[in-house]
Amino acid sequence: MREVETAATAAAPEPLGEPLESWEVAAVGPEWTPVVGEMELEPVPGRLELYADALVFRADDAVDRRTREPLVSVVPAGTVTGATPLAPGSKLSSAQRGGSPVGRLLGRLAPPGFVVSTSVGPWAFACSRGERRAREVSRRYAGAG
């Protein structure tokens, strides 16, 4: 079972009910860092679920190193500021690349995907149909707060 180091911030509650949509993705969260012994943070395979009031990432086979619980991250809709497609080989700005696990990762994502900008930082998602999914996230959530 893979471990992911997450920030010790208060987690948002999970939304109730069934998701509106669910996409297979590999993700890197803005508050995730490599665990001891890893040089870089590798993408975590899982599902991105879209709810009316939040995005929820559920890892397939990873746990939060602090809690030992399955890795589930809730991104409240009010924190989403935008979403953009990610072309293969894309990178964030060089300033972000130096200190951000997401920035170091983006050049290695195999399929194109998309980035969701939030008030906490960027979420990177590797998946198919990144451009369409970025538009869908922007339509549903950008400016929702």
The chain-wide mean pLDDT, for the chain, equals 82
Please tell me the predicted confidence (pLDDT) of residue 7.
83
Domain boundaries, the chain: 2-9+19-141
Which is nearest to 87 in space by CA: 32, 127, 122, 45? 127
Please tell me the predicted confidence (pLDDT) of residue 33.
85
Contact 84, 115 (CB under 8 A): yes
**For the domain with range 2-9+19-141, which CATH number is right: 2.30.29.30, 3.60.10.10, 3.40.30.10, 3.20.10.10?**
2.30.29.30
For residue range 96-110, what is the model confidence (pLDDT) as tens digits? 333 344 444 444 545
Which is nearest to 7 in space by CA: 77, 101, 94, 78? 101
Contact 44, 113 (CB under 8 A): no
For residue range 27-76, what is the model confidence (pLDDT) as tens digits? 999 988 888 887 778 889 999 999 999 999 999 999 998 899 999 999 99
pLDDT > 70 in the chain, percent? 79
Please tell me the predicted confidence (pLDDT) of residue 98.
31
- Measured CA to CA, the distance from residue 66 to residue 11 in angstroms comes to 13
Residues 76, 77, 82: CA angle, nearest 5 degrees: 120
